[in-house]
Amino acid sequence: MRLSRRTASVSLAVALVLTLAYEAVPQARVTADDRESADARVPADERDSADPFGAACRIRVTGSKVTAYCHNPYPETDRVSLHVECARWWDIDTDSSPVEAGPAQTVRLTGRCWKEVGDVWISHRRES
């Protein structure tokens, strides 16, 4: 009997800690407006083309630092750039130099603000 109460208490404590930890992590919410604005950043001729193009990118914001990993599963090279817009008016926004993500290649892009990060996005360009 005593062992099951102890197990129940530990299970309850772990569940509570996991729930609080999940609530503390900022969750990305993508709305229809976000999808439309992301589509607007890609030129119309590239959006409507029949051949697939563009690296898939994962962006992580940790405090004032931004890290993006872009993997290109397609045979055409994608030139990706990281754009960081800082939340404070006096903080300098940054745009990284284009980095070539070749076929089946993953590249890492980093950026930062002095304080909070306001917005982050990746731009894609076909290699000329």
Query: pLDDT tens track of the chain, all 128 residues?
Result: 455 666 666 666 656 555 554 444 444 444 444 444 444 455 555 555 567 889 999 999 999 999 999 999 999 999 999 999 999 999 999 999 999 999 999 999 999 999 999 999 999 999 77
Q: For residue 105, what is the enclosing H or E element?
A: strand 105-112
Closest CA to 73 of 57, 94, 60: 57
Query: How many domains is the chain partitioned into structurally?
Result: 1
Q: How far apart are CA 100 and CA 119, in angstroms?
A: 23
Q: How far apart are CA 116 and CA 44, in angstroms?
A: 32
Q: The domain spanning residue 66 has which CATH number?
A: 2.60.40
Report helix, strand or coil for 69: strand
Report helix, strand or coil for 113: coil
- pTM for this entry: 0.60
Q: How far apart are CA 25 and CA 30, in angstroms?
A: 16
Q: What is the DSSP letter of 20?
A: H
Domain carrying residue 55: 2-126
